[in-house]
Amino acid sequence: MDTYEPGSVAAEYFPIFLAGAMTTLGIVAAAIVCATVLGYIIATLRLSRIRALRIFAAAYVWFFRGLPLMLSLFFFYYTKPFGLTMDAFTAGLIAMSLNSASFFSEIIRAGLKSVNSGHLEAADSVGMNPVQKFVRVTAPEGIRLMTPPYINNCIIMLKESAQISVITVPDLMLQGQKAYNSTYNVMETLGVVAAMYLVMTSLLMVVQIIIEKKMGRKMGTTKQLREAVGSMA
Amino acid sequence: MIGITGLTKSYNSREVLKDVDLRILPGEVVAIIGPSGAGKSTLLRCINMLEVPDSGRIHVDGRQVFYTPNARGKLGVVDQFRLTWLRREIAMVFQQFNLWPHRTVLDNLLEGPVIAKRQKRADAVPRALEKLRSVGLEDKADAYPADLSGGQQQRVAICRALMMDPKAILFDEPTSALDPELVNEVLDIMAKLAKTGMTMVIVTHEMKFAREVADRVIFMEHGGIVAEGPPDEVFQHPRLRVYASHLSH
């Protein structure tokens, strides 16, 4: 068995970890986009006037929110659903998107419902059509309300994406496992992997702080809130 | 200007408006008064269809904007196109001001003309600044609503209504959410506006204001109009005297 000098695993495997981190970022970014779009659709169905659509959306949320991500990953990767054979990345992306859409839809639904109804009536009262009302009032106010839980969920997605390593997607977690399997230096490997995950989650938190600060200042928020947001940075 | 016939509206099984008829002439200032739950605000909100009545007819400026549902129970609002037309003609001032908190005072004034009516921003900006000057808030153009007092916000909301060049303005208890010392700055602006010949329909609890500024007072109770006419006449009505005596305590 080779013995490794301290720091040598990190140095030798760093490019591979970096490639793994890129795969993680790529699949999470793609899943966030897909899950947001799907989640938005589910949220609007949930708020629809048509009962059947509401029931469908509620059933979707019940189903995917109630199942472990791992189970969905195995389903899409191993069972060849509907006769489709897909590579690990695609299976992982689909499973993550469907799973996270159920959470996003609840966040978006809550955000849309919390938009001040008086502000919407004001938009009606100046004769905005429904599209203008959405773009000018609902979206900007809703996004401000949704940002903290939304980013929170993105961070959860990023961490949970480690599970895709079990269906052989070469993400940061899998590269880490490969590295300590061949070097037996678990401590150092996990240390580097952990640092990389923290960098990625920190980036998301920075995004949240920027959005909240920007919107908070524009809204003329109270001094306390500004300080609270400031102290997080 | 505005014609309402046989308007009814219920929430669940509670009748809020019972067969209300109302005519508003151009340039008229009408105050609607009465106890809470009388249906004043609902009547006002039906005029620009923020509330959709159950049955009746509403004409604005010669155009029919609502009619009793047909036999199949189809909704009476004519269509989205006519609805947006109606709302661009009839402006509204709300009890809670309802300025958009994510936009500056100036942008709040520009949303209607620039976004909804597609006018040029460059044309609308000088008009907006002029309106702000007329209510003494020209230095607040770049402030956000949260930085203003309630009275200032309501003055901005009146400017926002005026920016629509409306044929009439509806006021839904415009001073009820204000601290007492801020009420007069808003009433003064409204009195000035009344003198310019603007058609105004005002739901209010300010008896003195209704008496001094309105051309006509409408007293509502239990979803119906109990008395209407010139202020001096209506204020002699026995039911109103009972109501007013409650108010002064």
Q: For B198-212, what is the mean pLDDT?
A: 94
Closest-CA residue in chain A for B102? Answer: A219
Is the per-residue pLDDT at A222 higher than 50?
no
Contacts of B42 in chain A (CB under 8 A): none
Interchain proximity A125–B102, CB inside 8 Å = no
Q: Does B79 touch chain A (CB under 8 A)?
A: no
Q: For A40-68, what is the mean pLDDT?
A: 95
Q: Does B118 touch chain A (CB under 8 A)?
A: no
Distances (CA, A) of A227 to A70, A149, A204: 40, 20, 20
pLDDT band, residue B201 (cuts 50/70/90): very high
Which pLDDT does position A134 carry in this prediction? 94
pLDDT tens-digit series, residues A61-72: 999 999 999 999
pLDDT tens-digit series, residues B154-182: 999 999 999 999 999 999 999 999 999 99
Which pLDDT does position A183 carry in this prediction? 86
pLDDT tens-digit series, residues B182-197: 999 999 999 999 999 9
Q: For B227-240, what is the mean pLDDT?
A: 90
Is the per-residue pLDDT at B198 higher than 80?
yes
What ipTM, to 2 d.p.? Answer: 0.90
pLDDT band, residue A233 (cuts 50/70/90): very low
Distances (CA, A) of B70 to A182, B17, B47, B62, B76: 79, 20, 20, 21, 8
Distances (CA, A) of A200 to A94, A165, A172, A177, A194: 22, 17, 11, 19, 10
pLDDT averaged over every residue in chain B: 91
Is the per-residue pLDDT at B23 higher than 80?
yes
Residues A49 and A52: their CA atoms lie apart, in Å, by: 9
Q: Which residue has the tokens 């306390």?
A: A224
User: What percent of chain B is predicted at pLDDT more than 90?
Assistant: 75
Q: Does B164 touch chain A (CB under 8 A)?
A: yes
Which pLDDT does position B249 carry in this prediction? 55
Interface test with B, best of A116, A126, A143, A144 (most B CBs within 10 A): A126
In Å, how far is A138's CA from the nearest CA of chain B?
A: 10
Q: For B53-77, what is the mean pLDDT?
A: 74
Q: For A212-222, what is the mean pLDDT?
A: 64
Which pLDDT does position A104 carry in this prediction? 97
Q: Does B94 touch chain A (CB under 8 A)?
A: yes
Which pLDDT does position A9 carry in this prediction? 75
Q: What is the number of other CB atoms lying within 10 angstroms of the CB of residue B115? A: 20
Closest-CA residue in chain B for A140? Answer: B102
Tokens of B23: 């005519």
Interchain proximity B48–A220, CB inside 8 Å = no
Tokens of B237: 């009505």
Which pLDDT does position A90 carry in this prediction? 94
Is the per-residue pLDDT at B39 higher than 60?
yes
Least confident window among A196-200, B43-47, B63-67, B203-207: B63-67
Closest-CA residue in chain A for B87? Answer: A127
Closest-CA residue in chain A for B99? Answer: A119
Which pLDDT does position A136 carry in this prediction? 95
Q: Does B129 touch chain A (CB under 8 A)?
A: no
Interchain proximity A128–B116, CB inside 8 Å = yes
Interface test with A, best of B44, B88, B103, B115 (most A CBs within 10 A): B115
Closest CA to B152 of B181, B126, B172: B181
Which pLDDT does position B224 carry in this prediction? 93
In Å, how far is B108's CA from the nearest CA of chain A?
A: 10
Which pLDDT does position B134 carry in this prediction? 94
Contacts of B153 in chain A (CB under 8 A): none
Q: Does B84 touch chain A (CB under 8 A)?
A: yes
Interchain proximity A121–B98, CB inside 8 Å = yes
| Interface contacts (A, B; CB < 8 Å) | 79
Is the per-residue pLDDT at B67 higher than 80?
no
Residues A189 and A48: their CA atoms lie apart, in Å, by: 50
Interchain proximity B112–A218, CB inside 8 Å = no
Give me the residues paired with residue B201 across strands. B30, B170
Is the per-residue pLDDT at A220 higher than 60?
no
The 3-state DSSP class for residue B170 equals strand
Strands (E), chain B: 2-11, 14-24, 29-33, 55-60, 63-66, 90-93, 168-172, 199-203, 216-221, 224-229
Chain A residues whose C-beta sits inside 8 Å of any chain B C-beta = 116, 118-119, 121-130, 132, 136-137, 140-141, 144, 215, 218-221
pLDDT band, residue A226 (cuts 50/70/90): very low
pLDDT band, residue B238 (cuts 50/70/90): confident
Closest Cβ opposite residue A132 in set B98, B100, B115: B115
Which pLDDT does position B55 carry in this prediction? 85
Which pLDDT does position B71 carry in this prediction? 56
